[in-house]
């Protein structure tokens, strides 16, 4: 049975302007691979309602799971929750359970639950809350879509609480070999090898440094013994250049 | 007149599996912002022909420019050029001009231009070549789509040769202020301020470290004097917490 599929939607002007380098995509990709869910597509859009809503519709329909990151804070540019509600045709308002979570947190820290902070209790009808152990304001899951914060520390905590609730497939295993030859010398033998192991996937990731060219060959699959066999066959093809 | 818009398509299994952290998106985002082209959307897909072709069609139709990264090397998983040709309904084959570039390079380095390397001379009909000063194998531009290598050093060189040929708008300027207050305290005054400066965009990027919460407020626009005025107004709102 093939693994479940997933997409990710990263929301925020700061990524697209080059000001901030996204870290959440890389984290989620690694966590999903370990859990046996195949991340198939990532989109990054700005804080623009039609763009967010359209992306949520397309990705939630196209994959088993959608994970979003960003745009659920208290400021006026945080519009993700409303866009997700619109994408699923749900009403959205301040919800008592989310408000109670925030109230308890701010009572503990002696902070006022003002109008801006109350925005973070806006949750679409029918969604279940995702726990935020860092700063209380919850994420939520609606249908197959998991809406999480953009701050990496909070995003990672939310991923850690959502992933165990999802059925994963066989974790994708990988082994790699560095070959100190130009990719053009590797390509022919690699294609033949990949035809001998149709159950595995073969990737070639070229590098260059100090004028020397080479490639990392990464073999992926679900059967460790087959991976071992393929990596040994590969290293026999390049006895002097593989490490 | 609004700035031209752009999208980026990052192609490759290694990004989506979490093995490699993409660097090209961050580089392109910064370069486009300086050049006055607004990056509006990024997609990342795996080495899968239907996914690549569909994304090229959607993004080249939706934005003024599309930049792609990855999948133009010599190995069997490098299928970007063929997918771009399919997306634009063009024929593709080994082209004499690209073959000549490769032949000259491999003659110089004493390397055989074998069948695998010749794959890198496959260029869609009507495309113009993009120079690759690092390893010769060219990228290409077809209609509004710029097809570039995934290796960061080569990608950056190709961006540097393509960007000066594109008409940019006013570079997007930005100024930022760090405010050591929870975003919930900043949100109300920030919304009012943003209404006083409708020509500027206001972003709030929360952070937390060592248990302290704060936010970087970034104001963006095309008029430096207006930015100065807005940032001064903002710092007057938080005289004790802004830096």
**CA Rg, chain A, in Å?**
22
Give, in order, the Cα–Cα distances in Å from B134 to each of A80, B28, B102, B137: 42, 18, 12, 9
CB contact under 8 A, B42 and A41: no
The residue-averaged pLDDT of B146-163 equals: 95
Ranges A140-154, B95-109, B207-221: which has the least confidence: B207-221
Confidence of residue B121 (pLDDT cuts 50, 70, 90): very high
Kindly report the nearest CA distance between residue B41 and chain A, in angstroms. 5
Closest in A17, A135, A213 to B172, CB measured:
A17
With beta carbons under 8 A apart, name residues in chain B contacting A21.
26
pLDDT at residue B241 is higher than 90: no
Instruction: Output the pLDDT for position A212.
Output: 77
Measuring CA to CA, which residue among B34, B184, B123 is closest to residue A18?
A: B34
CA distance B114 to chain A (A): 7
pLDDT at A222: 86
Distance from CA of B79 to the nearest CA of A (A): 12
- Cβ distance of A184 and B21 shorter than 8 Å: no
pLDDT in tens, A175-200: 999 999 988 899 999 999 999 999 99
Measured at the alpha carbon of residue B74, what is the angle toward residues B118 and A224, in degrees to the nearest 5? Answer: 150
Taking each helix axis from N to C end, the angle separating A152-162 and A24-35, rounded to the nearest 10 degrees, works out to: 20
Indicate whether B212 pLDDT > 80.
Answer: no
Highest mean pLDDT among A202-206, B32-36, B86-90, B222-226: B86-90
Q: Examine residue B242 and state whether it is found in any structural domain, yes or no.
A: no
Q: How far apart are CA B79 and CA B89, in angstroms?
A: 15
Same structural domain for residues A74 and A178? no
Q: Which residues of chain A have pLDDT under 50?
A: none
Question: Is residue A160 domain-shared with residue A46, that is, in the same domain?
Answer: yes
What is the predicted pLDDT for the residue at B182? 87
Taking the CB of residue A112, how many other CB atoms lie within 10 A of it? Answer: 11
CA dist A44 to A12, A109, B130, Å? Answer: 8, 34, 26
Instruction: Tell me if B229 is assigned to some domain.
Output: yes
Query: What is the pLDDT, as a whole number, of residue A240?
Result: 85
- Closest-CA residue of chain A to B52: A41
- Considering all CA atoms of chain B, what is the largest pairwise distance in Å, rounded to the nearest integer? 67
Q: Are residues A84 and A25 in the same domain?
A: yes
What is the per-residue pLDDT for B168?
Answer: 85
Measure in Å the smallest separation between the Cα of B96 and chain A Cα atoms.
19
**Is-contact B139 B146, C-beta < 8 A?**
yes
Of B165, B200, B223, which marks where a domain is finished? Answer: B165
H or E stretch including A86? helix A80-87
Mean pLDDT to the nearest integer, B76-96 = 96
Instruction: Report helix angle B183-196 to B224-237, nearest 10.
Output: 140
The answer to whether A68 touches A32, Cβ cutoff 8 Å, is no
- pLDDT of amino acid B170: 81
Inter-chain contact A202–B76, Cβ cutoff 8 Å? yes
- A142 forms beta bridges with A145
Nearest residue to A33 (alpha-carbon basis) of A180, A196, A192, A218? A218
3-state DSSP percent of chain A in helix, strand and coil, to 5: 40, 25, 30
pLDDT tens digit string along B6-47?
Answer: 999 999 988 998 888 899 999 999 999 999 999 999 999 999
Quick check: is A243 in a domain?
A: no
Q: Is residue B127 part of a domain?
A: yes
- A202 lies within 8 A of chain B by CB: yes
Cross-chain Cβ contact A111/B182 below 8 Å = yes
Domain-located, residue A40:
yes
Nearest residue to B177 via CA among B215, B226, B220, B221: B215
- pLDDT (average), residues B88-95: 98
Whether B120 and B224 map to the same domain: the answer is no
Q: Do residue B201 and residue A13 have CB atoms under 8 angstroms apart? A: yes
B152, closest residue in chain A (CA to CA) = A207
Do A16 and A82 lie in one domain? The reply is yes
Q: What is the sign of the dihedral through the CA atoms of A13, A16, A22 and A26?
A: positive
Taking a C-beta distance cutoff of 8 angstroms, is the pair A205, B14 a contact? Answer: yes
Are B160 and B178 members of one domain?
A: no
Q: Are residues B159 and B58 in the same domain?
A: yes
Statement to judge: residues B59 and B131 lie in one domain? yes
* Selected residue of A39, A169, A187 to mutate for chain B interface (largest B Cβ count, 10 A): A187
ipTM confidence score = 0.89
Domains in chain A, number: 2
Residues of B (24-43) whose Cβ lies below 8 Å from A: 25-33, 39-43
Domain holding A50, by residue range, is: 5-165
Beta bridge partners of A146: A67, A141
Residue B51 placed within a domain? yes
Q: What is the CATH number of the domain that holds A57?
A: 3.40.980.10
Assess if residue B243 is contained within a domain: no
* Chain A CB contacts of B42 below 8 Å: 15-16, 42-44
- CATH code for the domain of B198: 3.30.70.600
State the pLDDT at residue A19. 85
Domain boundary among A139, A165, A191: A165
Same domain for A183 and A222: yes
Note the pLDDT of residue B160: 95
pLDDT score recorded for residue A205: 85
Considering the domain architecture, whether residues B126 and B72 belong to the same structural domain is answered as: yes
Tell me: do B151 and B177 sit in the same domain: no
Q: Is the pLDDT of residue B205 over 80?
A: yes
Q: Is the same domain home to A103 and A192?
A: no
Q: What is the mean pLDDT of residues B71-92?
A: 95
- Closest to A114 (Cα-Cα) out of B59, B118, B183, B98: B183
- Cβ-Cβ pairs closer than 8 A, A with B, add up to 200
Write down which residue in B141, B165, B189 finishes a domain. B165
Name the E strands within chain B: 5-11, 38-45, 65-69, 92-94, 122-124, 128-130, 139-142, 145-148, 173-179, 201-209, 212-221
Are B75 and A190 an interchain contact pair (Cβ–Cβ within 8 Å)? yes
pLDDT at B50 over 80: yes
Report pLDDT digits (tens) over B179-189.
999 888 999 99
Whether the CB of B180 is below 8 Å from some CB of chain A: the reply is: no
Tell whether A242 is covered by a domain.
no
Q: What is the distance between the alpha carbons of residues B235 and B35, in angstroms, rounded to a whole number?
A: 29
């Amino acid at each position: 049975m093939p693994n479940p599929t997933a997409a990710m939607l990263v929301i925020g002007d700061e990524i697209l302007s080059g000001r901030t380098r996204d870290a959440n995509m890389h984290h989620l990709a690694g966590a999903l691979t370990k859990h046996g869910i195949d991340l198939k597509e990532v989109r990054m859009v700005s804080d623009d309602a039609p763009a967010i809503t359209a992306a949520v519709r397309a990705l939630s329909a196209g994959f088993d799971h959608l994970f979003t990151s960003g745009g659920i804070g208290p400021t006026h540019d945080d519009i993700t929750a409303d866009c997700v509600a619109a994408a699923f045709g749900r009403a959205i308002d301040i919800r008592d359970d989310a408000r109670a979570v925030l109230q308890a947190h701010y009572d503990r820290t002696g902070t006022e639950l003002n109008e801006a902070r109350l925005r973070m209790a806006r949750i679409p009808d029918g969604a279940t809350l995702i726990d935020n152990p860092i700063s209380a304001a919850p994420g939520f899951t609606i249908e197959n879509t998991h809406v999480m914060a953009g701050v990496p520390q909070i995003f990672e905590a939310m991923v850690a609480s959502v992933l165990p609730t999802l059925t994963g497939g066989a974790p994708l295993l990988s082994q790699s070999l560095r070959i100190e030859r130009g990719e053009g010398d590797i390509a022919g033998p690699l294609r033949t090898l990949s035809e001998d192991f149709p159950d595995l996937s073969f990737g070639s990731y070229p590098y260059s440094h100090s004028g020397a060219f080479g490639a990392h060959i990464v073999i992926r699959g679900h059967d460790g013994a087959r991976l071992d066999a393929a990596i040994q066959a590969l290293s026999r093809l390049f006895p002097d250049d593989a490490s």
